Structure 1
């Protein structure tokens, strides 16, 4: 039987969730890792869309089946682990809601200062790369069955790209700022008010070792604090206090310390929390 194949990328917020699970639950080499470079838009290759119609990471091929959502990928890894793992709760669905989307948090800017801080890096390393890839792949014969998908993605990416290129109308930019602020406020409220209610006094939600909830939550928190300016795990507390005007709630801070001390965490985030090939994080106001 062939080994499962995990399609991943170091800059993907959610691909870190199964990577943490693999590092915790499987011996080295048990899962094959294949990199799909999001900066180059490799996820928009028609061959990958055939595997995952959403063109998203993580994606897992195992037992002749494709698992195409973070929840399904992590669930497979948990179910097939060699040791028992505490199964997930409703928290998984909550942190995957659009209102808490860590990818949206990465792309949004609340004002001209943030727009300038993110702009050049995002343009050169991500948004423009996505647009180029979408235009290239959508023109291929293999892309014909996915015409509607490409049209929607090209339009959505271009709308954000136009803001960062200062080509959007002022009204569109102001609406973008308002949307960004609302998303920022929603995530801040969740971290400060709601999240502590889901966390234990000590250890992980899964107990002494990470459970299914923890793989999702660990990856989510890592991306959120990165978007606040933390480049390393050690900078998280300072970044949160600077951005939210208050320290992390004690239970959240404790949970963070427990996670970042794990060998699995140090392996997955060896290159830093952003793990993305642009470094605007440290320049955010």
Structure 2
């Protein structure tokens, strides 16, 4: 291409070519995720809200139902075997002369914060996207404090653990039978994968540390404990042996504590802390990218779907918690009513949050096939 030809190309096209050339020569970050993982949904929502281009990161699925997260190659990236996991090239090793090094970010909070800071009008990201890059970080100390309470103190606390809520989502024989259809194949897949890796390690087919072996054994013990309950889920309590009755009763007790004691506190705290209509007011923030997938998951466990409006979804959650539990309703401002359309003037802040967040393009894309 001669100089005259280059000069005839529009500046915007030249810029795009240069950016594309740079992005192709640089190693990309890789997001390891499972579409059915709650916190993976948070990372995917962040990518859309921040306006990342489809070609700026590599996305790789880790199938949790087949235990792929327990494989030796994945454990080298994330010893906790969790998704999402974001592997990013270190900034100072991107030159052609230096072999690229990578850092794995394994905590959901760290991943969302990294994705927020790595694409902005002031960042040096060689982006191919023309979408806006809004800052999702709270703008004030007060908002930062509220965000930390919502994310750290509530959503990522052990009582709010979405995986525990999934596996403990049955408090009687009928509910256990229904739940087993969803979780038994997942548990079976994990058990088969863990048993396979342990067998290969014992026979010397693969070489791993004792620490990894112990991790596999501990994980397998937890899986087997749940399997011992779910593998007999099709039988009523009157039909199973005495040992199985004791295990089932213990399981139901844990489930009742989780849903009837823990969840009212969690939901009440969230409803109190959310400012509205989004977690921190009128703009999307980091807090929403944690709250949205968590609430969607809890709503699904309670029988809600994407077609439910906020009041309906929250009412299903309240009914599922049981014992007459109900969130405080508030009278919403007139401008908020106009923003969201015809909605009940008095409803919980979590219901208002559901209505406004489900209208986001990111929500509609991530949950196009249903809640996870």
TM-score normalised according to structure 1 size: 0.89
Aligned residue-pair number: 271
The answer to which of 163-172 and 259-268 deviates more is 163-172
Q: What SS does the aligned partner of 1:210 have?
A: coil
Q: Is the 8 A contact 2:39 2:293 kept in 1?
A: yes
Question: In structure 2, how many angstroms separate the alpha carbons of the residues matched to 1:119 and 1:70?
Answer: 28
How far did 1:247 drift?
Answer: 6.2
Contact kept, 8 Å, 2:150 with 2:270, in 1: the verdict is no
* Of 253, 266, 273, the match for 1:190: 266
Q: Distance in 1 between matches of 2:269 and 2:27?
A: 42
Q: Which has the higher contact order (CA 8 A, sep 6+)?
A: 1
Q: Aligned pair in 2 of structure 1 residues 33, 18: CA closer, same or farther (>3 Å)?
A: same
2:33 aligned residue = 8
| Comparing 107-116 and 246-255, the one that deviates more | 246-255
How far apart are the structure 2 equivalents of 1:170 and 1:257? 42
1:216 to 290, 311, 314: 290
CA contact (8 A) 1:8 1:59 kept: yes
1:91 paired with 2:150, answer yes
Deviations 1:108-159 (A, max 9, x none): 1212111111113322x20111111111122234363111100000000000
- Of the three residues 151, 170, 173, the one matched with 2:217 is 151
| DSSP-derived class of the 1:271 partner | coil
Q: Which has the larger radius of gyration?
A: 2
Aligned residue in 1 for 2:350: 252
State the partner residue of 1:58: 84
Q: Helix, strand or coil for the counterpart of 1:5? A: strand
Secondary structure at 2:76's aligned position in 1?
helix
> Which consecutive unaligned segments of at least 5 residues does structure 1 have?
275-285
- What are the ranges of 5 or more consecutive residues in structure 2 without an aligned counterpart? 1-25, 90-101, 121-133, 139-146, 233-239, 330-347
Q: Map 1:72-221 to 2 at 5 A.
A: 72-82=110-120, 83-87=134-138, 88-94=147-153, 95-108=155-168, 109-123=170-184, 125-141=185-201, 142=206, 144-145=208-209, 146-166=212-232, 169-185=244-260, 186-191=262-267, 193-202=268-277, 204-221=278-295
Quick check: 2:38–2:294 contact (8 Å CA) kept in 1? Answer: yes
Distance of 2:266 and 2:258 partners within structure 1: 11
Distance 1:178 1:126 in 2: 23
Q: Report the 3-state secondary structure (helix = DSSP H, G, I; strand = E; otherwise coil) of the residue aligned with 2:148.
A: coil
Query: How far apart, in 2, do the equivalents of 1:39 and 1:224 lie?
Result: 20
Structure 1 segments, 4+ long, off by >6 Å, are: none
Conserved 8 A contact 1:86-1:212: yes
Between stretches 88-97 and 38-47, larger displacement belongs to 88-97
* Deviation for aligned residue 1:246: 6.0
- Pick closer, same or farther for the CA change 1:206–1:27 going to 2, 3 Å: farther
8 A Cα contact 1:196 1:252, kept in partner: yes
Is 1:45 the counterpart of 2:71? The answer is: yes
**TM-align CA RMSD:** 1.9
Deviation at 1:238, TM superposition (A): 5.2
Q: Structure 1 residues 119, 270: CA separation in 2 closer, same or farther (over 3 Å shift)?
A: same
Q: Residue 272 of structure 1 aligns with which residue?
A: 370
